[in-house]
Structure formats: C-alpha cells, structure tokens
Amino acid sequence: MSENIFKQDFQVTQKEREGLHQHPGKLIWFTGLSGSGKSTLANALEKYWHDQGLHTYVLDGDNIRRGVNRDLDFTPEGRAENLRRIAEIGKLFVDAGILTIAAFVSPLIKDRSSIKEIVGADHFVEVYIKASVETCEKRDVKGLYKKARSGEISNFTGISAPYEEPKKADMVIDTERMSLEEGLEKLVNQIGYC
Ligand SMILES: Nc1ncnc2c1ncn2[C@@H]1O[C@H](COP(=O)(O)OS(=O)(=O)O)[C@@H](OP(=O)(O)O)[C@H]1O
Ligand SMILES: Nc1ncnc2c1ncn2[C@@H]1O[C@H](COP(=O)(O)OP(=O)(O)O)[C@@H](O)[C@H]1O
C-alpha cells in the first residue's frame, strides 16, 4: 500500500508560513500526571502568546480523546496509538507554522521518544509538568483518583499504571514549588518567541 503513496510538495513552505507569522512552528509537549497542571499551564501559555499576536493552538488529552481518538483506551497499546496520532497531528500544526502546546499524560519514555522522532528534534520541546501522585490525588480535579482507588477506573496513571519521569526534559515546571504565575514566567522566558 505505502509504496503507492507519494509525498506531495506545495509551493508555500513551512519556512514561508513561519516568515509570515514571524515565529517558528513548534510542538511544546507537556507530560505529567493527571492533575499535575498541564491544562492549566497550557491555557495560560496560549493566552499569553495569543495576546502577543502569536499563532497558537492547544491539543489537550481530554478533548482529543472525546473526538479523533475516541476509539482508543488506556492500555499501553491504546496510549501508544493515541500519542502516535497526536504526534502526527502536531507535526501538521508545526508545518502550518503554529506554536502548538500539547498536554498529554504520555507516561512512557519510549512513547515520548517516538513523538520527538515523528515531529523532529528541532521542532520539539519536552516540558515535564511535575507534581507527585500525593499532590495530584489531593487536588483530584475530576474525581478520577477516587474512582481509581475504588477500582472503578483501571489502568489509571500513578495508581494502577506507571508514569516514567523524563530523565532529560528540556524544562521542568514543578507545580508544587512554583505558583501558576511563576510557572508561566519560566515557560515564556525559556521557550522565547516574544
Ligand atoms: N486510566 C486513565 N489514566 C490516565 N488518565 C485517564 C484515565 N482515564 C481517564 N483519564 C483522563 O484522560 C486524560 C488523559 O488522556 P491522555 O490522552 O493525556 O493520556 S495518555 O497520554 O494516552 O496516557 C486525563 O486528563 P488529564 O487529567 O488532563 O491529564 C484524565 O482526565
Ligand atoms: N502551580 C500550579 N500550576 C498549575 N496548576 C496548579 C498549580 N497549583 C495548583 N494548581 C491546580 O492544579 C490543578 C491542575 O489541574 P489540570 O491543569 O487540569 O491538570 P492536568 O491537565 O495535568 O490534569 C488545577 O486545579 C490548578 O488550579
């Protein structure tokens, strides 16, 4: 099948789109436990950049799983396919010259390495949104930890499924030690673009 499919090039290139936007296309990848602060920080970062006139978009776990990836579960295979598709979607957004923030638990090192490979290291920034299981469980924003403890939800990251901490993240935002404002400031200063 794939030997009969050819890459089609178009006149307008990624570089030209980036030139028009006056910033590069990037995939800023947030990984961390449920409740660590990924969505909160993604929202704050997009709002900050958008207000500076930059071209942005957020890909978020819950939203993608309610739509394009609604057929996938939380088994290791389901998560790997979820993340593979998101990496391909992220690659398209980068090609469109957009500063894209992806907020996914993405618990396994091997899956995060594959994402980086698909998107390309030059366009990829890995950010570990760090908070302990204990803190996330205390926050329990959606009541999912309670359900995981009672066995109502299986394969729940941090409780009944693993989370592998990044060993070499480009950036770490520790939401137990930093306020939302401090986390946002660190992201903006270290990633740049404004
Ligand atoms: N079993 C299990 N484990 C982890 N998370 C669960 C699970 N079941 C449902 N949820 C909710 O789904 C959100 C995580 O989806 P992701 O696509 O980010 O997960 S993954 O990257 O494929 O591991 C996650 O969103 P966040 O809380 O925003 O992280 C949860 O709300
Ligand atoms: N420093 C912080 N940075 C981000 N969120 C924080 C911080 N401190 C507390 N929180 C709270 O933690 C919760 C994180 O929830 P959420 O952003 O939905 O996490 P995730 O998307 O990782 O599941 C929110 O209720 C948020 O207000």
Whether residue 1 is predicted with pLDDT greater than 80 in this model: the reply is: no
Ligand 1 centroid–CA 192 distance in Å is 29
Instruction: Give the model confidence (pLDDT) of 75-134 as tens digits.
Output: 999 999 999 999 999 999 999 999 999 999 999 999 999 999 999 999 999 999 999 999
Please say whether the dihedral angle defined by the alpha carbons of residues 61, 66, 71 and 75, taken in this order, is positive or negative. positive
Q: Which residues contact 43 (CB under 8 A, 6 or more apart)?
A: 58
Domain that holds residue 124: 14-185
Q: How far apart are CA 132 and CA 190, in angstroms?
A: 23
Domains held by the chain: number: 1
Mean pLDDT of 48-61: 96
Within a domain: 162 = yes
* pLDDT attached to residue 144: 98
The answer to whether residue 20 sits within a structural domain is yes
Ranges of H-type helices in 29-175? 38-51, 61-66, 76-95, 109-119, 133-139, 144-150
**Active-site hit among 39, 106, 154, 179:** 106
Does residue 50 belong to any structural domain of this protein? yes
**What was the pLDDT predicted at 131?**
98
> Among 141, 145, 171, 185, which is best to mutate for testing ligand 2, by the most ligand atoms less than 8 A from CB?
141
Asked if residue 37 is part of any domain, the answer here is yes
How far does residue 170's CA lie from ligand 2's centre (Å)?
A: 20
Tokens for 70, please give them.
């609604």
The answer to whether the CB of 104 falls within 8 A of the CB of 158 is no
Q: How confident is the model at residue 61 (pLDDT cuts 50, 70, 90)?
A: confident
How confident is the model over 174-181, as a mean pLDDT? 98
What number is the average pLDDT over the span 43-57?
97
Pocket test for ligand 2, best of 29, 36, 40 (most atoms within 8 A of CB): 40
Nearest CA to ligand 1 atom 8: 156
Distance CA 108, CA 58 (A): 21
Asked if residue 76 is part of any domain, the answer here is yes
Strands 124-130 and 99-103: unpaired
Residue 36 falls in the annotated catalytic set:
no
What is the CATH classification number for the domain harbouring 139? Answer: 3.40.50.300
Q: What is the mean pLDDT of residues 41-58?
A: 97
- CA 42 – CA 29 distance, rounded (Å): 10
- Cα 144 to Cα 33, 54, 65, 128, 141: the distances in Å are 12, 34, 16, 21, 8
ipTM of the complex: 0.98
Q: Give pLDDT, residue 62.
A: 82
User: Is the entire prediction scored with pTM above 0.80?
Assistant: yes
